[in-house]
């Protein structure tokens, strides 16, 4: 849908899993839910956050793909892997800084959120952002977003030394211009497997 953008506001999420249930109703991957919903630490909090594909300008998943199976369309939407090319090696799964792609073992195929291009191409909003009862997931024009929300939408992310620009926006407190994850991801990865 021309002029519409996708916004994620984790602070609005109520963990209801509407998006998880609705994702599998999308026509391009019927019966397979690709959105992520994380509950941080249920002992301490009910807080949760949804994670859609951020649709990077320069997708790390595509860079890491040895089979050249991951393509970005002119609309800026990064598609699931091409079935004839994907070797289900999971490089993209490991490489994505947001942890988005999933390998469907039985299909030997990486699938991920494609921002419901079957819907947006015919003037319908993505399924998750349509149903989301708290509008933690929102698909509107930037002007509408500015009218509705006080917080700041950002689409620049820093993971250590890697800077990623994305099509999807995430809301941060007013005045923030980027989300920086300062932890050394690679070392943390080793630590967690020790």
Partner 1 sequence: MAKPPLPVEDLVRSYGPTLKYTPPGGWTQSARHAGDRLVKTHCCFCGQQCGIQLRVRENEVIGFEPWDEFPFNRGMLCPKGVKRYLQGSHPDRLLDPLLRTDTGFRKASWDEALAMTAQRLREIQDRHGRDSVAVLGGASLISEKSYLLGKFARLALGTRHIDYNGRLCMVSAGTGYKLALGVDRNPNPWSDIPEAQVVIVAGSNVAECFPITTDYLWRMRDNGGKLIVVDPRRTPICRNADLYLPVKPGMDTALFAGILHVVLKEGLEDRAFIENHTTGFEAVEQYVKEWDPRRTAEATGVPPEAIEKAARWFGKAERAMALHARGVEHHSHGVENVLAIVNLCLATGNIGRPGAGPNMITGQGNGQGGREHGQKCDQLPGQRHIDDPAARKYVAGVWGVEPDSLPSAGYTAMEILEAIHRGEIKGLLSICFNPLVSLPDAGYIREALNKLEFFGIIDFFLSETAHHADVVLAGSLQEEEEGVVCSGEGRVIKINKAVDPPGNAWADSRIIVDLAKRLGAGDRFRFASTREIFDEMCVASKGGTADYSGITWERLEKEMGLFWPVPSENHPGTPRLFEDRHFKHPDGKAHFLVAEVKPGGDPLDSSFPLHLTTGRVVSQFLSGTQTRRIGPLVDQYPEPRAEIHPELAARHGIANGELMTVTTRRASMTLPALVVRTIRPDTVFIPYHWPGRKSVNGLTHRTLDPRSKIPEFKSSACRIGKAAVPDGMNSSGQLNVLGGG
Q: Binding partner 1 by CB under 8 A: which of 16, 64, 88, 93?
A: 16
Q: Binding partner 1 by CB under 8 A: which of 4, 6, 8, 21?
A: 21
Instruction: Tell me how many residues contact partner 1 (CB under 8 A).
Output: 35
Should residue 125 be labelled a site residue for partner 1 when binding is judged by CB under 8 A?
A: yes
Backbone angles phi, psi at 187, to 5 degrees: -65, -35
Q: Binding partner 1 by CB under 8 A: which of 2, 43, 173, 194?
A: 43
Should residue 150 be labelled a site residue for partner 1 when binding is judged by CB under 8 A?
A: yes
For the bound state, the minimum distance from the C-beta of residue 15 to partner 1, rounded and expressed in Å, comes to: 6
Q: What would the two tokens of residue 168 be? A: 């999807």
Should residue 11 be labelled a site residue for partner 1 when binding is judged by CB under 8 A?
A: yes
For the bound state, the minimum distance from the C-beta of residue 80 to partner 1, rounded and expressed in Å, comes to: 16
Should residue 135 be labelled a site residue for partner 1 when binding is judged by CB under 8 A?
A: yes
CB 95 within 8 A of CB 64: yes
Should residue 152 be labelled a site residue for partner 1 when binding is judged by CB under 8 A?
A: no
- The nearer residue to partner 1, 17 or 156, going by C-beta atoms, is 17
For the bound state, the minimum distance from the C-beta of residue 24 to partner 1, rounded and expressed in Å, comes to: 8
- The nearer residue to partner 1, 28 or 156, going by C-beta atoms, is 28
CB 170 within 8 A of CB 49: no
Should residue 132 be labelled a site residue for partner 1 when binding is judged by CB under 8 A?
A: yes
Should residue 143 be labelled a site residue for partner 1 when binding is judged by CB under 8 A?
A: no
Nearest to residue 116, comparing CAs of 136, 130, 102, 105? 130
């Amino acid at each position: 849908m021309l002029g519409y953008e996708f916004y994620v506001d984790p602070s609005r999420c109520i963990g209801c899993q509407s998006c998880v249930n609705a994702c599998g109703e999308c026509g391009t991957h019927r019966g397979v839910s690709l959105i992520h919903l994380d509950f941080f630490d249920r002992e301490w909090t009910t807080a949760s956050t949804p994670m859609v594909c951020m649709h990077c300008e320069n997708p790390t998943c595509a860079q890491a793909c040895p089979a050249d199976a991951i393509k970005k369309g002119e609309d800026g939407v990064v598609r699931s892997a091409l079935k004839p090319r994907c070797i289900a090696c999971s490089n993209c799964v490991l490489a994505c800084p947001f942890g988005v792609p999933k390998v469907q073992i039985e299909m030997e195929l990486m699938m991920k959120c494609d921002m419901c291009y079957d819907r947006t191409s015919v003037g319908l909003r993505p399924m998750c952002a349509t149903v989301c009862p708290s509008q933690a997931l929102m698909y509107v024009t930037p002007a509408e977003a500015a009218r509705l929300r006080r917080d700041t939408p950002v689409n620049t992310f820093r993971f250590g030394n890697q800077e990623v620009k994305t099509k999807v926006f995430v809301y941060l407190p007013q005045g923030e211009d980027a989300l920086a994850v300062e932890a050394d991801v690679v070392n943390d990865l080793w630590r967690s497997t020790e």
